[in-house]
Amino acid sequence: MSRTFPTSVDVVIVGSGPCGAAYARVLSERAPQATLLTLEVGPQLADPPGGHVKNILDEQARAAAQRASEGPAPLSADTPTDTMDGYADEAPRMARPGTWLLPSGYRQPGEDGLPNAAMSSNVGGMGAHWTGACPRPGEGERIAFLDDLDELLTEGERLLAVDDHAFDDAPFADEVRKRLADHLDADRAEDRRVAPMPLAVTRHADGRLTWSGSDVVYGDATRANPRHTLLPEALVTRVLLTDGRASGVRVRDLQTGEEHDVAARYVVVAADSLRTPQLLWASGVRPHALGRYLNDQPQTVYAVRLRDVGHADQEDVDPRGRSSIVAQSGVSWVPYTDQHPFHGQVMQLDASPVPLAADDVPTPGTIVGLGWFCAKDLQESDRLEFDETAPDPYGMPGIQVHYRLTEADHASIAAATAAVKEVAAALGDPLGGEPFTFGPGASLHIQGTVRMGETPDGTSVCGPTSEVWDVPGLHVAGNGVIPTAIACNPTLTSVALAVAGARSIAGSLSERN
């Protein structure tokens, strides 16, 4: 039986990841009279919609939710759900559970490409599968022309329920941070010193920890809003324009194949860094910067076993094989600075990423994974191109990636490798051989493809409120909007930028009513 699609709403939001959800939340709070429609190509996995799959404790149910997120050609049902799988593999392409890779076009001859460029297709987007690290950008990562960036980040932290102290009682976490601080903090500004990683997790009264997904971003304000509708399995194929202004969307109901036009005063495209520019291109919105300044964060990883720490109180706990967050999963943050231009993430792991001897059961919290992320040397020529003659699995214009690591990128990766070895030596005894650098795209932090600018000078797609230059009523959202080459995990920043966009729509809607 076919579903009812509204014929007209105030705001259509394309995509239900954290950024689309942020628009729905802020509009529900600030423009409660507005009718809102979220259209999401993937299926709904959980109730309430947008929940994180790692909060599903039953392993089979979790695996089913992950497979359902993997786009038109999911992996086989017996693919493991353990997200540590493949962490230290040298496989040329690596799909994390709940994600799917570009099937083709990810590398052009003679270029580096983005072999690990991934997407998630489900209610909640990648936010149903992410790790929840929410550091603030600092120094050169910041968007200099946004005077209110800090306030927007604070609002982003509220929407994502970011907690700086969720793992304060993780065994050895203080010791890990002390060793990191002794080694790294001497010349750092106070707000860029080693710290617990701010994480989008909630500690419940009974001590249980859960990950924030879009469900948390939507919050009760959106769920209780009778004027917000979320329709899953609904592919937006086109943004409709009237006299140069966004006037609605064309959507294909994947349950029936029927197409519908929905009129709207505002359209927000929050369809990830690959598919947001794809949808604009398919709609004939093709500013020069569309798809350009594509960037990902080259990532180098290493693992150590903490030296001289003895045993933790929870030594009876063997954390291996668990997917829920456990108290020993401490995460520390080494903030980016202009002098140390890497974002460092130091995780006390639930399992070793490199094989240990069968009888070597690590004391919980003593195996530590280090991930150093680099900022890309931004190039206009790093870009997505679209090809209607070679459609993607949804029938949308096929994506062709042009992407090269420059000499500066290779130097930065070499410096990150040296830095990670030094830091590892300060913590303990390295496990395995040399640090390993993932292939491009593996950070899952693809940015820049619909970037924000202060003025319409041809190097950006949208202005400071994320409205596309010269297309009133059309907003873009997601990591693609971030204009700087940030090295830190981008979701908090993208959600903060979405807040500014949603506020501006809410303001215009109230003025016009």
Q: What is the binding site for ligand FAD (CB under 6 A)?
A: 14-20, 39-42, 96, 99, 120-122, 125-127, 129-133, 235-236, 270-272, 275, 279, 444, 478-479, 489-491, 494
Nearer to ligand FAD, 27 or 126 (CB): 126
CA distance linking residue 119 with residue 104, whole number of Å: 13
Nearer to ligand FAD, 125 or 364 (CB): 125
**Active-site annotation holds for 228:** no
- Rg of the chain over CA atoms, in angstroms? 22
CB of 320 to ligand FAD, least distance (A): 19
Cβ closest to ligand FAD, residue 31 vs residue 279: 279
Closest CA to 273 of 430, 446, 139, 431: 446
CB of 184 to ligand FAD, least distance (A): 21
Amino acid at 172: F
**Which residue among 52, 260, 340, 445 is the active-site one?**
445
Cβ atoms of 441 and 114 within 8 Å: the answer is yes
Contact predicate 282/386, CB 8 Å: yes
Cβ 53 to ligand FAD, closest distance in Å? 10
Q: How far is the CB of 109 from ligand FAD (least distance, A)?
A: 28
Q: How far is the CB of 378 from ligand FAD (least distance, A)?
A: 18
Nearest distance from residue 128's CB to ligand FAD, in Å?
Answer: 8
Could you tell me whether strands 331-334 and 342-348 are parallel, antiparallel, or unpaired per DSSP bridges?
Answer: antiparallel
Q: If you ran DSSP here, which 8-state letter would residue 389 be given?
A: T
Q: CA 146, CA 55: separation in Å to the nearest integer?
A: 35
At residue 506, the 3 state secondary structure works out as helix
**Nearest residue to 209 (alpha-carbon basis) of 166, 175, 173:** 166
Element (H, E) at 60: helix 59-68
Comparing CB distances to ligand FAD, the nearer of 379 and 491 is 491
Residue with tokens 């509204």: 6
Strand partners, 246: 241
Write down the least CB distance from residue 1 to ligand FAD, Å.
21
Could you give the CA distance from residue 266 to residue 246 in angstroms, rounded to a whole number?
6
Do 373 and 342 meet the contact criterion of CB atoms below 8 Å apart?
A: yes
Q: Which is nearer to ligand FAD, 428 or 501 (CB)?
A: 501
Report which of 388, 387, 382 is spatially closest to residue 401, judged by C-alpha positions.
382
Residue type, 308: D
**Cβ closest to ligand FAD, residue 332 vs residue 363:** 332
Nearer to ligand FAD, 16 or 363 (CB): 16
CB atoms within 10 A of CB 255: 14
Report which residue type is found at 161.
A
Could you tell me the two tokens for 426?
């300060």
Residues taking part in catalysis: 445
